[in-house]
Every structure is written in C-alpha cells, then in structure tokens.
Amino acid sequence: MEYRIVRGILFVSPGKEIDHFRAERIIRYTESLLRQQRFRTLVFDLADTVFMDSAGVGMMIGLYREIRAWGGAVFIIRMQKGIRRIYQMAGLQRIIPSYDDESQFMAAMEGGGKDNEG
C-alpha cells in the first residue's frame, strides 16, 4: 500500500491483491487520511493490482461514501483487464470513473472532465 499526494489529490496504490484482509487495512488508513485533510479527490492507482474480490468493491464503495460526505469524488486509473471485469460486474463505473493513465486523468481534471463523467 502506497500513498502520494499530487496537486491536492490523494493517490492510493492498494498493492497487488485487494482481498478482505488487505481491504480492511486500506480502508482504515485511507479513512483517517481523508478525515484529517478533507481531500476532495481520491484516486485508486491500480497499475500493480492483479487481484480484487468483492471486499475490494466494498472498500471502494465505502470510501466513496466517506468522501461524498463533503462533496468529494473517487476515480480509478491504470486498471488492468482482470480487475475491469470485477469493476463492471459490480457496476462501479456508475460512481467511480476510470481513466487509462494519470496524464489522461489529470487532463480531464483540469478540463473539468470530472463533471462530464457519469
């Protein structure tokens, strides 16, 4: 699990496998960071993530609810094919837009692309 902050945006790299064991930890750390600093944008960078089950879906929905409390939004970048299947099956695209890479995401943020996403 890794965190970085770029231009006020909190990026989380959850690691290779997001199961219930890992998800609980990521939720705890991320929740406390979000609450302390009131980030308005949270991004899951899934470049290294090769496994995610329903606990990962629960983690994303939980953190989405958290940040929505003060009008924030959640995004995913660099999602691999296997994870995309889970993402679509769970209907996450309705609340968490996905971008292929960071520069595409940053460009969308600057161009107000956030408002154009579903």
Partner 1 sequence: MRDEMKLTMNAIAENEYFARVAVAAFSAKMDPTMEELADIKTAVSEAVTNAVVHGYDHKGGILEIDARIEDEWLEIEIEDEGIGIDDVKQAMEPLYTSRPEENHAGMGFTFMEAFMNELEVVSTPGQGTKVKMRKKIEMPAAVRRKKRSIR
Nearer to partner 1, 59 or 74 (CB): 59
Q: Which stretch binds partner 1 (CB under 8 A): 5-13, 54-62, 71-79, 101-109?
A: 54-62
Asked if 88 interacts with partner 1 (CB under 8 A), we say no
Q: Out of 33, 86, 95, 106, which residue is the one contacting partner 1 (CB under 8 A)?
A: 86
Candidates 32-40, 57-65, 100-108, 110-118 — which segment interacts with partner 1 by CB under 8 A?
57-65
23 or 46: CB nearest partner 1: 23
Q: Which of these, 20, 32, 106, lies nearest to 66 by C-alpha position?
A: 32
- Signed CA dihedral, 73, 78, 108, 93: sign only: negative
Is residue 42 packed enough to be buried (19+ CB in 10 Å), middle (13-18) or exposed (0-12)? buried
In the complex with partner 1, which residue's Cβ is closer, 24 or 110? 24
